[in-house]
Amino acid sequence: MSTVPPPAAPKTAVVAGASSGIGAAGARALAAAGYEVHLIARREPELRDLAAAIGGSYTVADLSVAADVERAIAALPEAVGVAVYAAGSLQVSTVAEHPIELWEQMIAVNLTGAFLFARGIIPKLTAGSRLIFVSSQTGGKGLPGQSAYAASKAGVDRLAESLQRELEPAGIYVHELVPGPAATPMLDLPGTSPFQLDAEQVADVLMFLAQLPPDVFIRRIQVRAPLAGPFARPRH
């Protein structure tokens, strides 16, 4: 019995949170694979330089602001093959000393921004498209001083899981890429594990998800640097 092959997703990609770290590395990897890449973040100089380097386009937007997200998504092509939410904010405070402003800022960027981006991008996705959230292993295991970050990333996990059940009937897949510590500016903090992935290594896994066959789905991938053995190497 013959079967009709699943449709191939368009070779267009959007990366939210693309001005540095995993988002920027993912954008470079997507462009190298032949995708037309659109970048979204708050910092225009970094976006402009990256867009020029990869032959992409960009929109400056605060991803925690609904009107900004709507404006940024309106600038995208009609069909998006790969959509990545890699924006993130991490600042450290104990719960007892946690300013409410700091809590709200991290929830806004990490969780509300992920929701706003997902809600806005859905009409641009088609059968074969993939929506990838860059989460964190902290979402499954809280750490001292990281209550807001852990809570926001746990929220992203449940958002992605719920959204997958909504979109899979249309042939759209929602993935979580869950890295351990990675050598990015956000994790340049005292007490961070010295065993860290490079942003480019995380981007390699992102590309694995982006280029899965259209009839293959992996919901969640956890990755980290080895802590022992011949490939373990501290980054500090």
Which residues are known catalytic residues?
A: 149, 153
Q: Is the dihedral of CA 151, 154, 195, 200 positive or negative?
A: negative
Residues 200, 32 contacting (CB under 8 angstroms): no
What ranges make up the beta strands (E) of 51-172? 57-60, 80-85, 125-134
Q: Is the dihedral of CA 109, 219, 39, 73 positive or negative?
A: negative
| Non-local CB neighbours of 173 within 8 Å, separated by 6+ positions | 129, 130, 131, 164, 167, 212, 217
CA distance 137 to 153: 8
